[in-house]
Chain A
Amino acid sequence: LSKKLQILLKLFFILSIAFFTLSASQVLGDESEAVSSVSQAENSLDSAYLSLLEAERAGGDVSEVVKVLNTAIEYYSEAERAIKKGEYDTAVLLATEAVEASNVVLEADLGLIAVSKYVEGADLRNQLYLSLGAVIFIIPLSFLGWRGFKEYYIENIKKMRPEVVIDEP
C-alpha cells in the first residue's frame, strides 16, 4: 500500500509540475503575443500618421481621417493598459482594432494624396495659364491703346489754334 501511495504521490507531483509549467508557458505566450500585437499596432499608427501628414501637405482635407486615426490611437492606448492589467486577450483584440483603423487611414490617405496632387497641380496650372494669357493679351492691347491715344492727342493738339490776345494799353 505504501509503495502504491508513493507511486501515486510521485505521479501527482509530476502532473502538478507539468500543469504549472504548461500554465506558465500559456500565460507567457499570451503576454508575448499581446506585446507583439501592441508593438505592431504602434508601427501601424506611425505609418498612418506619416501618410496623413503627406496627404495634408499635398493639400488634402484630412479632418475626417484624423478622427479615424484618433480612434485607432484610443484602441492602442487601451490595449497598452490591458497589458498592464494582465488582460492579454483583450489587448490583442484592441491592438487588432487599432491596426485595422490605421489601415483605413492609410488607404484614405493614399486616395487623398492622389486626388490632392492632381487637383492642386491642375489648379495651379490653370491659374498660371490664365495669368499668362491675360498678360499676353494686355501687353499688345495696351500698346495699341497707347498708339491710338497718342494719335488722338496729337490730332487734338494740331486742331488747336493759338489765340491772340491783344493787350490794349
Chain B
Amino acid sequence: MNLDDWHLAFISACLVLILIICSPVVIETLKVRQEQFFMLAILGEEGMTEQYYPSDDPDISVNETIHWTMYLHNQMGEVQYIAVKVKLLNSTMKTPDYSSYNPSPEPAVYEIRHVLMNNETWLYPLDWNLINAELNGEKTSIKSMMINEDPLQINVESINGYNFRIVLELWVYDETSNRFNYGWIEQQGLQTAWNQIWFNVTRPG
C-alpha cells in the first residue's frame, strides 16, 4: 500500500465513523412509514372462520342464540377511534359498494365504538338471536332481535325466510371533519372494510 491508498482508507474510516455517530439523529428525523390498514372479520363460535351457527346449519330458529366474535386489527400507525355498524339486510337490499366506496344505505341496528392502539387486535363478542319473526304468506319478516342482550325493533322481510344477512361496516373517526366516515384514507387512496354472513329463518316462531 502506498501513501495515497492509506490516505483513502483513512478518509473512508473517518466518514464511516461520522455516519455511525450521526445515525440515531438521522433515524429519529426520518421515521420509516409502515403500510397502513385495518382488518375486520367475523369469527365463529370457536373463534375460527367456521362454525358460525349451531351444528353449522344456517337455518336458524327464533330464540336460538348465535355466538360470534368480531375481530378488528389496527395497523394505521397510530391510535384510531372506530365504529362498527351492524346492519340486517335481505338479499335485495344494497350492501356497501366496493367501487364507489359507499356504505349500505340501510340504517344500522347496532353500533360498536372503540379506540384501538396501533398494532392492537381487538376481539369483541357478538351474541345475537331473533326474538320475533312472522310468516305472512310467502314472506318471513324479522320484527325484533337481540344483540348482546339489547332488544332491537326492526322490520326486514325475505321470501320464504331465505337469504337474510348480517353486515358489519367499519367506520373510522376523521379528525378533519370531526365525524365517523365509512372507510379510511391511506397511501393508495380510500379503503373500506366490511363483512357479511348469510342466514335463513325457515322456522319462524
- A residues in contact (CB < 8 Å) with B: 46, 49-50, 52-53, 56-57, 62-63, 66, 69-70, 73, 76-77, 80-81, 85, 124, 127-128, 131, 134-135, 138-139, 142, 145-146, 149-150, 153-154
Contact = CB atoms under 8 A, between A and B. Distances in A.
B150 interface: yes
Contacts of B173: 46, 49
Interface residues of B, number: 26
Given A49-B81, A62-B79, A66-B115, 12 more contacts: A49-B173, A52-B79, A63-B117, A70-B114, A73-B113, A73-B115, A127-B24, A138-B14, A138-B17, A138-B18, A145-B10, A146-B7
Interface of B: 3, 6-7, 10, 14, 17-18, 21-22, 24-25, 28, 78-79, 81, 111-115, 117, 150-151, 173, 175, 178
A contacts with B: majority SS:
helix
Contacts, number: 64
A146 B79 CA distance: 52
Nearest to A85: B151
A159 B73 CA distance: 73
10 contacts: A50-B178, A62-B79, A69-B115, A73-B115, A81-B150, A131-B22, A135-B18, A135-B22, A142-B10, A149-B6
B112 A146 contact: no
